Amino acid sequence: MGKDVFYITTPIYYPNDVPHIGHAYNAVATDFIARYHRLRGEEVFHLTGTDEHGLKLQRAAEAAGMTPQAWVDAMEPKWREVWARLDIAYDVYIRTTEPRHEEAVRKILLAVYENGRDDIYLGHYEGLYCVSCELYYNEADLLPGELCPIHEIPVEYFREDNYFFRLSAYAERLLEHYERNPSAVEPETRRNEVLSVIRSGLQDFSISRTTFDWGVRLPWDETHINYVWFDALTNYITAAGYAEDPDRFARVWPANIHSIGKDILRQHAVYWPAMLMAAGVEPPMQVWAHGFLTVGGKKMSKTNATGIHPFELIDRFGVDSYRWFFMREVQYGQDGSFSYEAMVDRHNADLANGLGNLASRVLAMLGTSYAGVVPEPTEGGWEADLPDVIVQAVERYDEHLLAVRLTAGLAAIWGIVSRANQYLVEKEPWQLAKDPARGDELAGVLYAATETLRILAILIQPIMPAAAQRLWDQLGLGGAVDNRRVPSDVAWGGLKPGTVTSKGEALFPRVEAD
């Protein structure tokens, strides 16, 4: 198919309010994966953006006394501000109000409408609808009091003529697709959910509305506004060049990973591939659905007053600790509970006492014994098993990250930190420095410890880019650490004797619980 780019996407977010740490959880995870693939030397295309059409946003704008366009123009920068503070290095940011996106939406709609299979037809719908979910629900699916099972807010009764997409015609093709590509939905529990949904019978879904006008008009009937999924999901191919750049589209599409929350799994793993099949476009290679962040047992949400703005934590812990905590503490793919106390404990144990303490001790001893200059190591096996530990950890890191086992990948790297701290305890360079006769051993031990820090700075760059660069600078290595590559730049012995280091400020100052 000619594809030679690693393409990864976040969902596009509703800018009807400011982001909370549940949104940021996905953004950080996706950025971590994208940065790791860049570290491997791959060309990466990382997409994020905002979903700016629909009834929910129109109502939010009306409540604020603004037009929908003015509302999204005011809200959208708040999302970019958060991603900037979180060091999210996306390549493309899509807004569904952009002309290029409207062009792509109209193109895919026409492709399906004109495919000769009557996959889009005019019908009538009435039922119970959650505006926040953008979904109709059966009464049996609702919570007591006719509340949405996701947002726990009342659903509304809707009745109107809509155009529908004939999803029911694609059940067999979807089953065949997932039989041929069992990793197309991960983790396995989510794949089983998708297969169960398909096997239980698929219902056609509405793709248009006539009761509001905030969206893309259907190209064959401009009295209807396209609603939700042919607009929102199409962003993934808009950014890849579907309507404007066929050559780029051939290089980028299909997406390697759609990184999403489990609450929109059905739309991404059932609706979306069927829509693409109907348009003659290849489905994405993989949909990866993570769990919810919870606070006090409830899903992170502004609706239930559990939303925490990322700045509340970044201002206290720093961006690197923020990124580290959520990827190390919560196993990607499962639900995870957030607490301030857990974040304090993780920061102090892993970062302040772990990597931070390692860097502080090594750089301080280099300053005391060698005026900060990396010594020339002599033969003698002073490095012990550190080179082997690093080789094995790098292999596990790569295996885990390619399989999107993010927490396990970080644990593999932290095995190096633990072993390096233990190594210092065993070798006691502070004692060696007191004995002039053991100068060769001291030089060998400090070279090995500093070389370990150099390799760690490269390996942590995808998850803690700012801390990685600070450590790289303290090691006197110059340039940008994100220009390094694995495995070549993490081979043992890359640190040049004579390099001038500086202790600088602590990488991770301790945080005391309030």
Of 267, 163, 166, 160, nearest to 218 by C-alpha is 163
Catalytic residue check, 130: yes
Catalytic residue check, 177: no
**Other CB atoms within 10 A of residue 125 CB:** 15
Which residue has tokens 């096996």?
381
Catalytic residue check, 309: no
Which position among 23, 37, 400, 427 bears the catalytic label? 23
What the block records as the tokens of 253 is 């599409």
Alpha helix stretches (DSSP H) within 40-167: 55-63, 68-85, 99-113
226-260 burial: b if 16+ Cβ within 10 Å, else e: bbbbbbbbbbbbbbbbbbeeeeebebbbbbbbbbb
Which position among 37, 133, 268, 290 bears the catalytic label? 133
Which position among 3, 302, 309, 503 bears the catalytic label? 302
3-state secondary structure of 499: coil
Catalytic residue check, 133: yes
Using an 8 Å Cβ cutoff, are 10 and 26 in contact?
Answer: yes
Catalytic residue check, 434: no
Catalytic residue check, 46: no
Of 338, 462, 372, nearest to 412 by C-alpha is 462
Catalytic residue check, 20: yes
Q: What's phi and psi for 157, nearest 5 deg?
A: -90, 120
Which position among 151, 290, 400, 427 bears the catalytic label? 151
Which position among 53, 56, 107, 130 bears the catalytic label? 130
Which position among 20, 37, 46, 56 bears the catalytic label? 20
Which position among 53, 148, 290, 347 bears the catalytic label? 148
Catalytic residue check, 151: yes
Which position among 290, 299, 347, 427 bears the catalytic label? 299
Using an 8 Å Cβ cutoff, are 158 and 205 in contact?
Answer: no
254 upstream amide cis, omega within 30 of 0: yes
Q: Which residues are catalytic?
A: 20, 23, 130, 133, 148, 151, 299, 302
